[in-house]
Structure 1
Amino acid sequence: MRFIPHTDAEKQQMLEFLGLEQTDQLFQDIPQDIRLNRELKVSGGLSELELTRHMASLAKQNTGVEETICFLGAGAYDHYIPSAVKHILGRAEFYTAYTPYQPEISQGVLQSIYEYQSMIRLLTGMDAANASMYDGASALAEGALMACAATRRERVVISGAVHPEYREVVKTYLYGPKIQLVEAPYRDGITSLEDTAALLDKNTAALLVQYPNFFGSIEDLSQLAEAAHSVGALLVVCADPIALGLLKAPGACGADIVVGEGQGLGLPLSYGGPYLGFLACKEKYLRKMPGRIVGQTVDVDGKRAFVLTLQAREQHIRRDKATSNICSNQALCALAATVYLSLLGRKGLTKVAELCVQKTNYAKGLLAQLPGYELPWPGPTFKEFVIKTPLPPAKINQELLQHNILGGLDLGRYYPELTGHMLLCVTEKRSRQEIELLVDRLGAMA
């Protein structure tokens, strides 16, 4: 039977209150040519057994990383997730969207967020971190706005080696407040220091770079920081948290604000979300930080306690004084990252990062020997690298899929000058046999 929660009499009462004659008038602003204009073609009800079979058949139409060998990255990564992460996330104490405003009944959630902030602070080398954000792209945009608020300037320079979709999000965020966005070119796979320095001026609020960058190359943050600071601008770094298990922390390289995508820290790919953005900064910029921050204090009995603090969001203060309108702290995703990092520890995270580097270099070495394939740039990379291909990447990926392999990203989609180039990703999950299978298939196509 159809599920209609309101009786005809109740619907008529609501229409009269709204001054309408029929329900269709509620949708008058939607153009006729995009309306359905017919009944939904939904068959009758199913039993539980029938519904389970139906949903299973629908799920089989998708091909994910559990069924294929994944060499695709570009911002969403196939890292191994310990089983304990999912187990802890499924506990009823955490499985809620309720914001922990009342500390007396939310100490568990507040403590988990506090632990998350502490871990992000240590990873990034910053003084403070917030209670997480929507994703890496919006975190980078918020970092740009934060830098503009801190410097009272209205110009931002962003590297062309930053994730192209992240750059689009930053552009969207800066459009409203009319903040100028200038793109700095890259050369040989990294941000051009000379060209970037020439773009920085006394009205520049921040320089935005990625570490490692979109191509997997390692940027020299110290020199970029020196260039930004020479004109009074801040350095905002979008970092891969897995890479920070091995690379020098951005804070130790002169970064003022560090953001990033935390999906690799225990979150599945999930068709693009929900993911986890992180944001950390130096103490002097703490009060410009968007979102929430959980702080540690003591209760009336002198015992350790946790509370939400420095909530400079539009829900709590005057809209014109708010630092952002970030409303969700992604607490469940942040908990996944906290559990993941707790399970691995310092040595475990370093080991994962080392495996990524070692396996990436193994794949690069083999591919560079194949006729028709070429590594276009020198320099070290982390878990991702660019390869020039003898055939169009789209055609290569179609062929690889026939062998149960998810190939790399066609860079020509974002960079016209890189048409015929592919971005490949090798995480710690890829085995020697899988890497050699990829090389064998690519060699056969050449």
Structure 2
Amino acid sequence: MVRVRGRWYEPTNLYVVVALPPANRKSAVFSAMTGPLYEAEKHLANEAAGRIVEAELTRKMTQEAADKAATRAAGADGPERDNLVAEAIDLAQQAEALTVPPRPRLLADDSTPETVTSLMAEQGGRLAVMSAEGGIFDIIAGRYSGAANMEVFLKGHAGDRLKVDRRNREEFMEAPALTMGLAVQPSVLEDIGKNRGFDGRGLLARFLYALPESLVGYRKIGPAPVPETVAARYERNVMALTLSLAERAEPEVLQLSPEAGSALITFEERMEPQLRAKGGKLGHVGKWAGKLVGTAARVAGLLHVAAHLEDGYAKPIEPSTMTAAIEVADYFADHALSVFDLMGADAAQARAQSLLEVLRSNGWDTVSRRDLFAKLSRSEFPTVADMEPAVALLEEHGYLRIHTPPRTGKRGRPPAPRYLIHPQVREGQA
């Protein structure tokens, strides 16, 4: 984890989703990226196999000895019985104290939230869910259980204490660390955007989104492959980093150099005005953008240990590493705007776009609220009140202006407000 400042710590696990249409070779790239992790998992499993067999056999033999002692004690009398009972109890306690280590697991794929929780608990609170499909979102939403269960995915990102008490299991993790890496089709993002439970609980705000441009139809045929030396070095380094961390029971705490800390504060100062609900570039995705400074710190930690495989824990994070992490954060911020627009996560923005289309198509100089409402779809704007946030957003961006005509001095209702439409909207240039 990275110590940002004071008691602010950020774990370095990330949730990342890359979305591309079919035929963009997502699966091949995904396999190349995750291959070293599966190799590391296999290596750890082979190393642990002997210890697991030894522990299972020792526990079985100790339990059998305890059972035999209990049988002998049951048939004895007097002082001999007391001695045999004490021996049986001692052996039973020894058998209970013997723990069989679980088979090492680094990765999960098509798993239920309950399975992910159990695997994480077995593995000391750490696990990665990596998948070239988006089915995990359906599972979280309750495909099998009928009810959404996202607790492990919320707390696994933040590192919040997780305790599960159920009739058939009890699991506890002091600081869970879950990683998620998904490669999906854009339609998956559209579908999860419709699930307000994901957004309401803050799950969507925990993901970093990449929506690259599809190159299908413009690809170079027969491109040069990744150089073998580069591919081999990537595999070797990812395996080495994974294996070096596998046996650590407690997280390493990475420190920022004073210059790196200053660079992060400068980024935070640049970001803060963008979070404003009115006029902020990222205001309408505030839940997501509010985590971006912490994300930059997480990315800096990952870049740091990748650059210093052997001695990174003993060195502070350098300012150049933080600058690179901020560049990555800016990349994800640009893509988040596109993805949340695709998901339709901001209803006011979507409605404002629909309202703008009506203004363009009718070519009004000015229009009353009643006449404008009459032209809108009732499925999108059931009431006039539903129209107001979209009107306010268009006014904020200069597409229209609300004008209230002066009173004439006559009795009766005051004149209703009218909307003055910007000339470029009428001319189709806005």
- TM-score if structure 1 supplies the norm length? 0.24
Which has the larger Rg? 2
The one of the two structures with greater contact order (alpha-carbon pairs below 8 A, sep at least 6) is 1
Q: 1 or 2, which has the higher helix percentage?
A: 2
